[in-house]
Structure formats: C-alpha cells, structure tokens
Structure 1
Amino acid sequence: MSFAAAIKDAFDVDSKLEIGKPSQFDVIVDGELIFSKQSAGRFPELQEVLDAMSKRRAG
C-alpha cells in the first residue's frame, strides 16, 4: 500500500506530493514537520508515519 493510500484509509484525508531537493523526504502535517529523512538518516516506515500522524491529531 502506498503512503497516500494508507493515509487516506486511516484518516480520510488526501495527501499531496511536493517536489523538494534531491533525496529529501519530509512528512508535514498541518504545517508541522513530523518526519525528516535528512534528520533521521533513513526513509520512514509507513506505520511510523501513521503513528506520528495519530499522535499529532490527538494533541
């Protein structure tokens, strides 16, 4: 399952892809950075992104 499909399924929201710098992968929710590939040094796991989004939405 793609990140976009999983986010749609879990939260009923549409995500969008924005082209950034080469090898950049950031996940931003409501203007807040919740994952940065550059900071972590790796690509995120899908469940990790979903968990961070759940936590962000819970407050």
Structure 2
Amino acid sequence: MSFAAAIKEAFDVDAKLEIGKPSQFDVLVDQKLIFSKQAEGRFPEIQEVLDAMSKLAR
C-alpha cells in the first residue's frame, strides 16, 4: 500500500506530493515536520508516519 493510500484509509484525507530536492523525503502535517529522511538516514515505515499523525490529532 502506498503512503497516500494508507493516509486516506486511516484519516480520510488526501495526501499531496510535492517535489523537493534530490534524495529529500520529508513528511509534513499542517506545516509540521514529522519525518525527515535526511535527519533519520532512512525512509519511514508507513505505520510510523500514521502513528505520528495520530499523535498530532490528539
């Protein structure tokens, strides 16, 4: 399942992809950075993004 599909299923919102710098992969929710590939040195797992989004929703 793609990130966008998982977010749609879990939160009923449409994710938007924006092209960034080469090798950049950031996940932002309401302009808040919840994951940065550059900072972590890896891509996120879908579940960790969903968990981070759930924490913001509380």
Verify same fold: TM over 0.5.
yes
CA distance in 1, matches of 2:29, 2:57: 9
TM normalised by structure 2 equals 0.98
What is the deviation of 1:51?
A: 0.2
**RMSD between superposed Cα atoms in Å:** 0.4
Corresponding pairs, count: 58
Structure 1 outlier segments of 4+, above 3 Å? none
Query: What code does the residue aligned with 2:35 have?
Result: F
Instruction: Describe the SS at the equivalent of 2:9.
Output: helix
Q: CA separation in 1, counterparts of 2:31 and 2:54?
A: 15
Q: What amino acid is aligned across from residue 45 of structure 1 in structure 2?
A: E
Stretches of structure 2 lacking an aligned partner (at least 5 in a row): none
Superposed, 1:1-59 pairs within 5 Å as 1-58=1-58
Q: What is the percentage of aligned positions where both structures have the same residue?
A: 81
**TM superposition score normalised by structure 1:** 0.96
